[in-house]
Amino acid sequence: MYKDIATPVRTKEILNQYGFAFKKSLGQNFIIDPNILRNIVSYANLSEESGAIEIGPGIGALTEHLARNCKKVVAFEIDGRLLPVLEDTLSPYSNVKVIHSDILKADVAKVIEEEMQGIKDIMVVANLPYYVTTPILMKLLHDRLPIRGLVVMMQKEVADRITAKPGTKNYGSLSIAVQYYATAEVVMTVPKTVFMPQPNVDSAVIRLTMRNMPPIQVIDEDFLFIVARASFAQRRKTILNNLQSGLPSGKEKKQQIVDALNQCGIEPTRRGETLTIEEFGKLSDALLPHFR
């Protein structure tokens, strides 16, 4: 058995050996508690036939736990300084491939096709950099990758927004965008004390399970998300006011917006957070002819 990377002593040893300094701009916070990592991996329900995609492996703390539990791990690392570190720390594992790339610019579908041949069950498992959590998630969901789902750590506040239900203070356009593609649940919360360096916020791990079909069928997906974003622009405003301000030339099209709301049985005085994803679906279809 190899010594776990994710202990305070071993992490410090590795950082000192390579003279590694954390880059705040890359949101680097390494986990120093192997139990947390074991729990994260367990929520992904991996088997010896599974593949895992990791984003931001750091010094390989989570990567090694994935490597022990599945057939193949592909990890995307943006920071070139970490490549020699990972080559060293992950040398015991022949089933890991590290790709030096920004995940937001990578063709992940192509990488899966090349690196995960014959693997039917694929999960994204990662401790996401907090400053780009939402763009990374939306890219992975929007690209409709051949994955079963994602188990990812993020800032607790963002996790609460992603998993929120209609009528709650955390519910917003992010909840709708993510829940359109996947079912979402918070599976564990993580204290800031298990990171090096410690972040200023607590974290949470969410599990997203990809839907075979979206919960609603809409004419134009992109427009659905535009309508959702506009509806939450200012939370205290009514949906009518927000749509007027947030949709292109919405001010001149007030009557068309009112007509669309009435057509869907939605009171113009309601607020965005009271609408279900089904209501947003109907509303975006009703508005679409006026904003094409």
Q: Are 219 and 289 in contact (CB under 8 A)?
A: no
Q: Whose CA is closest to 125, among 88, 154, 102?
A: 154
User: Residue 31, annotated ligand binder?
Assistant: yes
What is d(CA 92, CA 85) in angstroms, rounded to the nearest whole number? 13
User: Residue 176, annotated ligand binder?
Assistant: no
SS3 for 150?
A: strand
What is d(CA 257, CA 140) in angstroms, rounded to the nearest whole number? 32
User: Residue 77, annotated ligand binder?
Assistant: yes
User: Residue 220, annotated ligand binder?
Assistant: no
What is d(CA 163, CA 160) in angstroms, rounded to the nearest whole number? 5
User: Residue 56, annotated ligand binder?
Assistant: yes
Checking 49-52 for CB contacts under 8 A at 24+ apart, the result is 49/119, 49/120, 49/121, 50/119, 50/121, 50/122, 50/123, 51/112, 51/115, 51/116, 51/119, 51/121, 51/122, 51/123, 52/122, 52/123, 52/124, 52/125
**How is residue 83 written in tokens?**
């490549």
What is d(CA 80, CA 20) in angstroms, rounded to the nearest whole number? 11
What is d(CA 161, CA 176) in angstroms, rounded to the nearest whole number? 10
Q: Whose CA is closest to 272, among 157, 173, 158?
A: 173
Pairing relation of β-strands 121-127 and 149-155? parallel
User: Residue 127, annotated ligand binder?
Assistant: yes
Provide the CA 266 distance to its chain's centre, in angstroms.
31
Annotated binding site for S-adenosyl-L-methionine: 29, 31, 56, 77, 102, 127
Task: Output the known binding site.
Answer: 29, 31, 56, 77, 102, 127
